[in-house]
A and B are shown apart, each in its own frame.
Chain A
Amino acid sequence: MGMVDSPNGRDSGRKAKRRRKRLGFHIDMTPMVDVAFLLLTFFMLTTTFSRANTMEINIPPENSEVKIAETNVMTFRIARDGYAFWSIGEGTPRKMRLYDESDAMTLSSEVRQVLVQQTKANSKLVIVVKISDQAKYKYLVDLIDEFNMMNIDRFSLDDFTDADAKAIGILASGITEVPDLN
């Protein structure tokens, strides 16, 4: 193991002489090295270098109002059971699943397709996202993440009102028994 050799150390095999001369003595450093490595592993494993990742959100001030033509507004409603409903202007909402499987990490390809198609078809499109109060926070993050990746920066969050619930309620009436995601 790790040994300390004096500068003018001799080889071993002269034990009788060494005692007298105090030259080339050895200290067994094994225990110290053991402890050092133990501590080293401990600190290496407990250290967390990385800081958490974040998503920056900018929201408009409360009293700001922007007027947009109805046809340029896409309403994206998310119900509590993980279904999404999208509509342009006052059109009837269309239903789709937000996730492909119940434990999926990313949004379903259907949602992505709709987003890509609609933003391509209309460059002035503004997406208004309305998420049901009983829905999960995860839906919001995944949706904003999707927007960020598609470079859609014209979206806003709005309250999910009773009117919204009614608008999608007609469509959702047949599928209310679908088990909650998560």
Chain B
Amino acid sequence: MSKVKSKRIGFRIDMTPMVDVAFLLLTFFMLTTKFRPPEPVQIDLPSSHAEQKVPESDILTVSVSGDNRYFMGVSSQLSRTRIFERVVQPRLEAAGMSGIAVTDSLQGFKLAEVFPVRKNELPHFVTAARFANQRLRPVVKADANADFEAVNHVLKLFKESNILTFNLVTVLEKEVR
């Protein structure tokens, strides 16, 4: 015992297993990480006790920011292309934009996870999204401090376009009752 204690200088531990595990974890995290796209606006979600998760694919997100601006996002690029062709392209062409410029803005639109939408344009975009993908699941992501009127506008719009089931995004409230 006493001999081991006195020799404590320059000892070596085989760290190979630890390094192995570290690399395994590193590879795992590197491969599974999906970077969150930068959001154009910070949305402070309301809290609730709902534990259901957002569907993984085919989502149409309508966001309402705290200052009552609207944003829309569609998860698949194919749907985005279709929305562009239906809503944005005719408008750009009417404004006298050349074919190349239109294709250029389509490329930009395809990559936009979330894009701002004006209140009066929202119905066109929602209808176009519904045409683009029938199975699209609508999700409302509104700021807790957004006016009810702004959110109600979206809910009414959904009702008008016969979307009767949708989700409200919330964060889990920790309080247990």
Contact = CB atoms under 8 A, between A and B. Distances in A.
Q: Decide whether A and B assemble into one complex.
A: yes
Interface in A1-15: 1-5
A36 B19 CA distance: 9
B147 A137 contact: yes
Contacts of A51: 53-54, 56
Chain A contact residues: helix, strand, loop or mixed: mixed
Interface residues of B, number: 58
Contacts of A40: 22, 25-26, 29
Interface in A126-175: 131-142, 144-145, 148-149, 157
A53 B36 contact: no
Contact of B36 (A48, A132, A138, A149): A48
B97 to A, nearest CB: 37
B173 interface: yes
Interface of B: 12, 14-16, 18-19, 22-23, 25-26, 29-30, 32-33, 35-36, 45-54, 56, 64, 139, 141-152, 155, 158-160, 162, 164-173, 175, 177
Given A43-B33, A61-B162, A149-B177, 19 more contacts: A36-B19, A36-B26, A43-B29, A48-B36, A52-B170, A53-B52, A53-B169, A54-B50, A57-B167, A59-B158, A59-B165, A105-B173, A105-B175, A134-B147, A136-B146, A137-B144, A138-B46, A140-B148, A141-B48
